[in-house]
Structure 1
Amino acid sequence: MRRDQRIFFPSLGLPEGDGSWQIEVHAWCFRLRARRFVIPIVRKALGFKHVRLTATEQQRFAERARWMFVDNKRGRSIVVDIDGRIYALGQTQANGHLRAQITVSLPPGRVAHECVVAPVWRDISGTDPIDIHFLAAEGLSIISDIDDTIRVSHVADRAALLRGTFVEPFAAVPRMAELYVAWARCGAQFHYVSATPWQLYVPIATFLDASGFPKGTFHLKDFRWRDRTFFNLFASADRYKRSHIESLLKRLPRRRFVLVGDSGQRDPEVFGDLCRRYPQQVRLIFVRDLTGSARISRYRAAFAGIDRRVWKVFTDPATLPTSLTDASI
């Protein structure tokens, strides 16, 4: 008999004005279906029914595609242990997800980063703590797109997008991981924002970790097959990214932000608008140009009224600064 599985996504711990901390918990409860049942359905839904795949490609497709048709579990209770105190957070929704916030007051001398937040499963605390990123009120945050910014995705090409997502090995944009590691050494915290559905969190997070990208919080998209096709999910990425980036800006008004994206969709326009609205927070914008020849007129329009030193279009990450200090931003 298959048992429920639970994933606790990397989340934020944010300081409150009274010295307490607001800890976010995002959980997903589901069961993986048998491959023999799922794979034919997904191949048909994604247009791979009549596509010949090698044995290696079939295996890779099976490993990734089965995440798209899991059996989400509604009504599962989620309980966590924070430094020895038990918190019942409620029950999962129809999509198997639960999002909750906990306000925790720490005893004198206790450092937030030392807090252990662990799931409790059937009255037994989980052995693996939840990855909570505690952010200081002030500091540097990198908000990074994933598709075609740090992972080669070909979002503008439907066939290439689907093959790259489900069939081909994931490929990192050269030298981006090294750049992000250098920024992390400067104290930067990372927030990965993408229209990739939460169902693909495990393969995407595994890939980023294997490629050497710094750990960070994830802000992906809720997705149900009944609502839209897989390709149309990516088509609405700009609206989704804007809302999640703006949410971070509003909740962290004293932090400085660097926005990193690409020209494949509307990152320049979204970033430019947010920079004009939050000029004290958005300090730098980096856009990876996918055309091979930067369309200067587009970027000038997207970043109209913004100091030219704030935004940069690049093709080679080696042209970007590896040190982000108070003086540089």
Structure 2
Amino acid sequence: MSFSFRRSTSSLLEEQTRKKGKFSDTESSLASVSTNQARVSRKEHKLTHLLSYLGSNNPLPASIAADDIVWLMDNVAFRGRGGQWEAEFVAAAFDEKASGKVLDIVSDIAGKVGLAKGGEEEKTIERRISPFVMEILPGRQIKVDFNGSTPLKLGPGGRNGISSNIKRVPKAVAGATVKSTADVPSGVTGVLEMKTVYAEPEGWAVISDVDDTIKITQTSDPVGILKSTFVSEPTPVPGMPELYSRLRQLLDPSAPFFYLSASPYNLYPFLREFRDAYYPHGQLILRDSSWMTISGLLSSLTLGTEKYKVDRIKKIQQWLPRRKMICIGDSTQSDPEAYGAACRLFPQWIKLVLIRKVTDVAAVGIEEKNEPSRFDKAFEGVPR
């Protein structure tokens, strides 16, 4: 018996981009200096290691120690079953001790982007590379003090050190922003404070891509990605901060923003700082499939992005099914195909799609990606 399947336009464009940009060559050369997720951390007892495969069902989670690193991710609260307020809490835990390969990785990236050895930029690379070389701590439970009054237990995390839990939260007025802090031993560092924005079921909301939509990333060039991520000052796409500021003014104050990126969660602190500097506050939704590898950064931005984004859009729709959605993306990745698929899945939910046709970067195959026929196919069956 034979089977056949038709690859999507986005997967074919990804394949073309990776081939012409020689992504595989760059990734294979980076693989030798990647951390090994499979190894057991120096802090990981055999029982903790074994039980961490159970993820949130782990009956004996480990606690956070004074020399650990914790990240708490901003989120959006919505009304769940019975009208109760809920929110998805995402957190991560790491060992403070980084991999011994830091200097090798810094030198390798510096060489690939054309920097002289020992240059000042290597300090920037070393600082930004740290989330990729810290050892993850699976099976950890993180305590959080929500709004100064409600204790929450997040996790335990799975094998990638990340936990994701839907938790009930106290009532608050629509549009309110509530701060929470990690209830951890003294000495713990990281992103120890998070914000929760309360969004009522009805009104407007925005789903926005990040790379080459609001931030210049050069996702069609592996060296460009390494440079924009680890060396260059993060730069907003010209005109986009003003557009988003205007959108914030036009929409109701409680309208939530979701920044949906194919970047791995390793870049959360980096992208959080960029968001706060140039754009309205919102929930960053990032990818966890390539955790703890530099080569994984390149693959996460260029492989399977349509499927990943549609999956996350489905999750947002489950949270806020009665909101009117605006989706904003660009032509370098699979945004047209992902948003087109979402429009067909939820025809009354998405009210507007804006695609930035990228012409100001030397992207591989950008002419084909900007062809009208591509957009016609991506949005087939969607009202113009």
What is the TM-score when the length of structure 1 is the normalising length?
A: 0.82
Describe how 1:1-329 pairs up with structure 2 within 5 A: 3-33=67-97, 37-41=101-105, 43-44=107-108, 48=111, 51-53=114-116, 55-82=119-146, 84-104=149-169, 106=171, 111=173, 113=176, 117-122=180-185, 129-185=193-249, 186-187=251-252, 188-210=255-277, 212-222=278-288, 223-225=290-292, 229-236=296-303, 237-291=305-359, 294-308=370-384
Which residue identity does 1:260 align to in structure 2? I
| Residues in 2 aligned to 1:47 and 1:234: alpha-carbon distance in whole angstroms | 20
> Deviations 1:24-83 (Å, cap 9, x if unpaired)?
221111134458741313544x58469434723212211111221112122332122335
Which residue identity does 1:217 align to in structure 2? Q
Contact persistence 1:2–1:31 (CA under 8 A): no
Higher relative contact order (CA 8 A, sep 6+): 2
> Against the structure 1 CA distance between its residues 282 and 129, is the aligned structure 2 distance closer, same or farther, given a 3 Å change threshold?
same
Contact persistence 1:254–1:281 (CA under 8 A): yes
Contact persistence 2:102–2:133 (CA under 8 A): yes
Residues matched between the structures, number: 302
Contact persistence 1:33–1:69 (CA under 8 A): no
| Residues in 2 aligned to 1:154 and 1:49: alpha-carbon distance in whole angstroms | 15
Aligned partner of residue 82 in structure 2, secondary structure: coil
Contact persistence 1:11–1:132 (CA under 8 A): yes
Offset of 1:16 from its aligned partner? Answer: 2.6
Which residue identity does 1:65 align to in structure 2? I
Aligned partner of residue 130 in structure 1, secondary structure: strand
| Residues in 1 aligned to 2:98 and 2:194: alpha-carbon distance in whole angstroms | 28
Contact persistence 1:39–1:66 (CA under 8 A): no
Q: What is the aligned-residue identity percentage?
A: 29
| Residues in 2 aligned to 1:152 and 1:224: alpha-carbon distance in whole angstroms | 22
Contact persistence 1:10–1:131 (CA under 8 A): yes
Contact persistence 1:35–1:62 (CA under 8 A): no
| Residues in 1 aligned to 2:173 and 2:153: alpha-carbon distance in whole angstroms | 23
Aligned partner of residue 240 in structure 1, secondary structure: helix
Which residue identity does 1:253 align to in structure 2? P
Which residue identity does 1:231 align to in structure 2? L
Coordinate RMSD, CA, aligned = 3.0
> Against the structure 1 CA distance between its residues 36 and 77, is the aligned structure 2 distance closer, same or farther, given a 3 Å change threshold?
closer
More strand by share: 1
| Residues in 2 aligned to 1:180 and 1:145: alpha-carbon distance in whole angstroms | 12
Aligned partner of residue 91 in structure 1, secondary structure: coil
> Against the structure 1 CA distance between its residues 121 and 266, is the aligned structure 2 distance closer, same or farther, given a 3 Å change threshold?
same
Unaligned runs of 5+ in 1: 309-329
> Against the structure 1 CA distance between its residues 42 and 99, is the aligned structure 2 distance closer, same or farther, given a 3 Å change threshold?
farther
> Deviations 1:110-142 (Å, cap 9, x if unpaired)?
53737554332249xx99753112111011111
| Residues in 2 aligned to 1:180 and 1:156: alpha-carbon distance in whole angstroms | 25
Which residue identity does 1:218 align to in structure 2? L
Which residue identity does 2:78 align to in structure 1? L
Which residue number in structure 1 is paired with residue 4 of structure 2? Answer: none
